[in-house]
Structure 1
Amino acid sequence: MGIRTLVVVGLSAWAGWLLVRGILLRTVPWIGLGLIAVPLVVLGVTERQWVDAEHRFSAVARALAPGTDGVHCQRLGETFTYAGAELGHVDWDEDGVPTGPAMVSYETCGRLAAYRNSSGTERSDPPLDQVIAVHVLTHEAMHLAGRLREADAECAAMQRDAWVAQQLGATAAEGQALAETYWREVYPRMPDAYTDDACTADGDLDETPGDGQWP
């Protein structure tokens, strides 16, 4: 249970106690209830928006990896107890089967939401952190689909980034531009475990060789 949920539960319990106390004392503490209601509504709306975004990202991931649990967007409270530094990860059992949803970091989910809600110049020329966030979603979906080796998941993801961007509201041209930006500006700087010389146009990891389109 995330911190936001715990706060909502705590505030709700406090409001209930004030109401019961008011009934017993035959006076309703309107000021106290009002002070609780405002943050309770704000937190509830924020959590609802976060859950809606998580469901949307999960639908995209499951389209690429049918039968899996999709995506879990890390909540702010989870960042304080999470020891890893990855933007996303998938846990597997000893047979290489995902044991749950792909975890996507709090910051990455926020950037995915920002990309999904963007328009105009920001959509056609998104900040690099949003480009990376879209790719993280695709990359983790490739892990969910059974590509355990990082270089395989990375290369397969680059060939699907344009499609994922379109599922988040981009046009075909905007999606292709995003995929090309990742290929040019991010992929060359990735650690060796994430790269492969065969990940190039008409290379062994090109899933549609000869089509003249890369990534």
Structure 2
Amino acid sequence: MIGKLKGLVDSFGDDHVLIDCGGVCYEAFCSSRTLAALPRVGEAGVVFIETIVREDMIRLYGFSSEAEKAWFNLLMTVQGVGARVALAILSVLSPSEISSAIALQDKAMIGRANGVGPKLAIRVVTELKGKVPAGGGIDAGTLGLQTALGEGNAAGNVADAVSALTNLGYSSAQASAALARIVAREGEEVATEKLIRLGLRELSN
């Protein structure tokens, strides 16, 4: 079983990279984020590998991190999500953004991926609710706040502060992550106005 490839980047395709490992080139299909993160042709690169074996093919999928690989596998547990759709989701959202979208039940974020319609987006956030793979790219405090927001039972001042920050143009994932850090430091009794002020400061850093 191949767990990771370390070698020279040989060439890129629209959806894959060739990694030269001691003269043997391996083709790994990747998200556009992973392809963009890889070094230029001729330079040393590393991709984490998931191998999928079917009757008619053996295909390698490459990832820039263990978190991306973990989400790829978890996404494919959803009915209707195959490797192509999982990579499409990972092309538009980072692991932490996927965690946020699911915790907040934000089907619109998932629906940004090519090939993901409204029904499939709902299925993804519904079936994966409460599930985060090991190393999924989000800390427990942030996930806890986002889950509370998604279930509508976050403290009113925190929910109002998240709403205010999203109205100012920040994503719900950014706002809830910033406020989770503030609540961890200051406690949950901070007034809404102060939470918003501290949130803006946190987001500007």
Bigger proportion of residues as helix: 1
| Bigger Rg, structure 1 or 2 | 1
Bigger proportion of residues as strand: 2
TM over 0.5: no
Tell me the TM-score normalised to structure 1 length: 0.30
Tell me the TM-score normalised to structure 2 length: 0.31
